Chain A
Amino acid sequence: MSLLEVNDLHTSFFTDAGEVKAVNGVSFSLEKGKVLGIVGESGSGKSVTAYSVMQILAGAGKIVSGSVKLNGQELVGAGEKVMKDVRGNRISIIFQDPMTSLNPTYTIGRQLMEGILLHTGRTKKQAWDRAVEMLKLVNVNEPEKRMKQYPYEFSGGMRQRVMIAMALACEPDILIADEPTTALDVTIQAQILELMKNLQEELGMAIIMITHDLGVVAQMCDEIIVMYAGSVCEQGTAEDIFYSPCHEYTKGLLRSIPTTSNDGERLQPITGTPIDLLNMPKGCPFAPRCDNAMKICLRERAQRKNIDGGHYAACWINERDGKVKGGEGSE
């Protein structure tokens, strides 16, 4: 049994303009101690997938169907009481912007202790000690002094460390990191990524890393999910995705980023503009931008099919080329 199993998850936002299918049939599983990367562009549904797992969707968003199992326990429809125990305790999340995700009116210490007091039944004194210990763990200098300070007294990198400390204080099984380093500078990003990797090895938790940065994914992740317009295009190990991509969107993404090997050459961009989720085409959502689209791509959505081992892709071209191992995609 996997630590986390997500099966055919559908999440929609019901807006005045109509239903926006932000997550449209996402399935994946996460094993203990692994790092899973979810990559995609803005609006691909990567963050909404994570928010659906945590059930912290904004007002108009609802899980329409599908299942999310944590250690075999179904979370969809489990009720707020169960979710309160899950959030921050068994699954934690850190957000993109460390500048706005801390409350400016409370001290760092108070914010760190909140979750500890809520979930672990420690006394205030013990929670304080635990919070100091967590700050030490994420390499914040003079943790006792820092506990009494307010967020404005911290730099961006330091705030993200506090967020990580807060997320890990209750020793969760899964840490969801939603673009944890996008707002940070490169040298600070390197510090935070190294810290996350070390803590992950030390504490043995699983990480879901949501990012648009293919470099960060290559560096951090064991498994990768590539999303486009709410659906999973392709999933597999980092090697599968980077060295033998099997979906036209993944191939296009990898061709369009500047690397050291395509020096001096023109980049090969993906043509067209991102999809409007209110007007989804009938067939493959990527077909309008795909250079190799066939007639069937415009008519019908490709199913997720197994390519090899844990490598899955939903692309008609694989079927044409006989790359598919047959059978349905799900395990």
Chain B
Amino acid sequence: MLPEMLLELRPNLDYAAVVVLFCIGLYAVIVKNNLIKKLLGLNIMETAVFAFIVTSGMVEGGAPPVLGPGVMPPLASPLPHALILTGIVVALATTALALALIIRIYLQHGTIEADQLRELD
């Protein structure tokens, strides 16, 4: 079953890299104790999703979707790019809010280590 899957995966190796990146981020979110490191893990996961969707918009030998003299089809799909631009901005907003919350937690409790915070309750 596994070799068959690998054979089918060969044209989609770019996506496999995305899966690895996603798992690295999830590992950091689960295992790391420091809240800032968890946040970095979340950002790595977000990056994986962005890379996945942008990769899906690519086309073999395609030009960027900016029209002008000398730009010939095929063009990459503009829709994933626009979606991911939105996604990146939202990721920025969540990261900023999470950092503000982490600062608040530090001011309140003097620590941002998850296990120490759990003991406080």
A associates with B: no
Interface positions of B (Cβ within 8 A of A): none
